[in-house]
Every structure is written in C-alpha cells, then in structure tokens.
Structure 1
Amino acid sequence: MLEQYDLHNLMVLDIETVPQYSSHDQVPEHFQKLWDRKTQSQRKEETAENFYERAGIWAEFGKIICISVGIFTNGKRTGLRVKSFASHDEKELLESFSAMLASQPSNLILCAHNGKEFDFPYICRRMLINGMRMPVQLEIAGKKPWEINHLDTMELWKFGDYKNYTSLSLLTAIFNIPTPKDDIDGSQVGNVYWNENDLPRICTYCQKDVVATAQLLRRYRGEELITDDCITIVS
C-alpha cells in the first residue's frame, strides 16, 4: 500500500489550535452572537459561554499556535527530521510556514491525520483571514481530485467506507507503534496555552503527533518503523 509514493517528496504535518480569546467574556459582542448561532446545534444543553473552550476547532473562532512538520531523510536507514513553527502571532507563524513551503517542490505531497477534514482547510482559512496568499501545495481550487497532492492517514484507513472518526492514538495502538505517554491531549491545549502560557509544551505534543503519523505511514507501506536515533527534532 502507498508504494507509488516517494516518501522523500512527502511532508507530514500537524497543527495545534486554540480559541482566539482566553474566555467567552473577552470575545467582542457581535462575535459572541455569531458564536451562539454557529454552535447552537452542537451545544445541546451547554451554554455558549461554557462551550467556548472548544472554539479552537472552528477556524472562524480559533487560531493556529503551532504547525509541526516532518520530512523523511536518506541515509543507511530512513530517518525523520521534525521542525515546528510556533508563535503567539498567528500571521508570523503562517508566514514562516508559507516561506518554508515556497522553498519546496510544487508537487510536494502533504500528509496529516484527518488532514483533509481539519488541518489543510484550517490552515487555508486562517491564511485567507490573515490576508495571505496560499502556497501552491495547499491550493485546491480548480484542480481535479487526482491533481491534489494531499494524503490523509485517517481517510486511507477507511478504504472507501464511511466509518466515523478513527483516532491516531487508536491506530498507533493497533499497529504497535510506540508512543510516549503525553501529559496533555488535544482537549487540554487551550488551557495549557491560555492559563499556563506554555507554548513549548504544546510544540512537543504537536511534534509527537507528526512522528506518530509518519510511523503510521511506514506501517501502511509494510515497512519497519523509524528508530528513535534516526528522528531529529530541529530547534
């Protein structure tokens, strides 16, 4: 499976997002009303104020604070090189990420877990909101499906069926991919960011998801996992 892809022309990525404001009462009044309407069906009995901690899921009400990427490297054994773009200033982060993509081949393949549903469109929406042009690797308008170089490890696992969301944690478990026990999960990122101001901790969490996704790709291809000594985190 996936033998037709050259891993050295592929970039694995993951993003971490948070609500744009630390709490609901900090949100401008007209956006509070729009938030209330947007989430009415999802909230059920929960108030818009309490539900705001999940605002990072929506690109209209959240922002990106970290993008981690991984590229496969050549050598006696395949390696992985991981780098993060992180900032409190989202536009600065996105500009650095975009500049990096500009230095890569236009046919570079981007891969993420649930990337087609979340990571890729979220990045594109936030770039537009910040008044930026999208890198060619993210531009899908006017392209035929087979011209879009995006891979999604969750979509690949579906094999054409309509299963619900399958987490990266579950797939790493069933494929026996070792992962360190994280001290946070995705639902805690907003709290760690706004209340603990610990962006480096979030970057570490994001980088681990990139490594896990890259290892999952190796398993899909029937290949050996990348050993820890061949994984490099670029500061």
Structure 2
Amino acid sequence: MISKLNLENILFLDIETVPETQHFSDLDETKQILWDHKSKYQRKEDFTAEEFYERAGIWAEFGKIVCISVGYFKIQSEELRQFRVTSFYGDELKILNDFKNLLESHFNQTKHLLCAHNGKEFDFPYIARRMIIHNIELPTKLNLFGKKPWEVAHLDTLELWKFGDFKTYTSLKLLTNVLGIPSPKDDIDGSEVCRVFYEDNDIDRIIVYCEKDTIAVAQILLRLRGDAILTDDEIVHI
C-alpha cells in the first residue's frame, strides 16, 4: 500500500526539455525529413513541419534535456521533516551523468523508487533514451530490459490518480488544484520553456519552474497517502 512506503526511499523528479536546435533550419536535411515524417500525424494539415518544430522537445529523438530537478525526504520524526530539492542543468551530457551518479550512489538499492507525474510515459523513458543517444550505460533504475512489471521501481502520480482508469489524462496543474496544493504553474508552463531557454537565455527561470513541479509531485503523493502537505519551512533548496 502507498501509505506503507518509506518516503525517504523515493527520489522525486521532473525534467524540462527543448528542441535540440533553436530553429528547424538548423537541422541537417536528413533530420528535417525525419521530423516531417515523425510529426505528420500530430500536426495533420494545420502546421508545416517547420511551424510545428517548436514542439519537438517532447520527443527524445528531436529534443534534449536542459534541466532535471530532484527532491527527497529527510525525516527525523513526525514533527520534523525536510524535503530537499536540487537541480542538474547546463550541458546535457553533464546533466545525464550527474543524474546517473546520484542514482548509483544514493538510490541504487532495491528499496529505492523514482517518482514523477506521467513519469512512466515521459520522464523515465526520455531520460533513458537520451542516455543511450549519448552512449551512457543505463543505471539500474532506468534499465527495464527483462524486468517484470513488479520489478520496475517507478512510481507515477498520474497512474496512481487514475485508479485503473486509463481513459483520462490529468495534468499536474489540475491535480494540484483539486487537491488543494499550491500551483507550480504560477510563472511559465511547459509550452514556454523553449522560448525562455533559446530566446531569453534564462535557465534560472526554468530551474525554478522545474523544482516547483518536483515539489508538486511530492505534495501529490503526500495527499494520496493522507499525509499533511509540505510547508514552505520544510522545503530546502540545496
């Protein structure tokens, strides 16, 4: 049961991604053709491949990670707990290696779990695919080859909220709203990350946004367990 999970064994995370280049024209001809084919179903006749390229960040084959934020609990007693948040950013290769080092040094045991909102459909496979693209050996927590479903150490707050109903998608913003959790989307949203990264060159703003989402994921899990949500004093940025 979710209430029996040890919160200190869970690494909460969120990622922010952008297209691999700022402009469609920056891609080589082969990659442009591949993007045209890949995006054809989603854009239909409404957009050209070039017009649709600003959304390329959601595909690991055409995007890259610019920030991974993580958070974890340190609990001394029921009255004394901390949620510590930090971020990896900069060059994507460094981001991925730093994140891998964290997993292998502190979250590599069977008891450890990764948790994200829609993580099973987006965050976890995206990180794994980008690691493979960069020729980084997958850490155990992301290497699913040959594992049975109950051996996969991933928690997904979206999946938990579905309660077996796979016909619906509930965004992080909506779920925090209905659960009475402070909204993480009080500045930018995912559709603006590309502009903030490439045009504004404001990685700090993206980090703040990513860390707020990570905190929100932890808050949702607390609410699903029936626990009190975190106060501002319990959240520590490191």
The TM-score with structure 1 as length reference comes to 0.96
**1:214 Cα shift?**
0.3
Alignment of 1:66-215 (within 5 A): 66-75=67-76, 76-87=79-90, 89-104=91-106, 105-107=108-110, 108-179=112-183, 182-215=186-219
CA distance in 2, matches of 1:98, 1:162: 31
CA distance in 2, matches of 1:122, 1:225: 29
**1:165 Cα shift?**
1.6
CA distance in 1, matches of 2:187, 2:214: 17
The answer to whether the 8 Å contact 1:15/1:64 transfers is: yes
RMSD: 1.1
What's the counterpart of residue 60 of structure 1? 61
Find runs of 4+ consecutive structure 1 residues off by over 3 angstroms.
none
The TM-score with structure 2 as length reference comes to 0.95
Taking a change above 3 Å as real, the CA distance of residues 137 and 43 of structure 1, as seen in their structure-2 partners, is: same
The unaligned stretches of length 5 or more in structure 2 are: none
Length, aligned pairs only: 233
CA distance in 2, matches of 1:148, 1:183: 34
What is the letter of the counterpart of residue 16 of structure 2?
E
**1:44 Cα shift?**
1.4
The answer to whether the 8 Å contact 1:106/1:136 transfers is: no
Q: Deviations over 1:169-196 (max 9, x none)?
A: 1111011012355221000000000111
* 1:23 correspondence with 2:18: no
CA distance in 2, matches of 1:182, 1:173: 12
CA distance in 2, matches of 1:145, 1:180: 31
CA distance in 1, matches of 2:115, 2:184: 22
**1:162 Cα shift?**
1.6
Compare 203-212 and 75-84 and name the one that shifted more.
Answer: 75-84
Q: Deviations over 1:88-142 (max 9, x none)?
A: x111110111111111232210000000000000000000000000111111111
The unaligned stretches of length 5 or more in structure 1 are: none
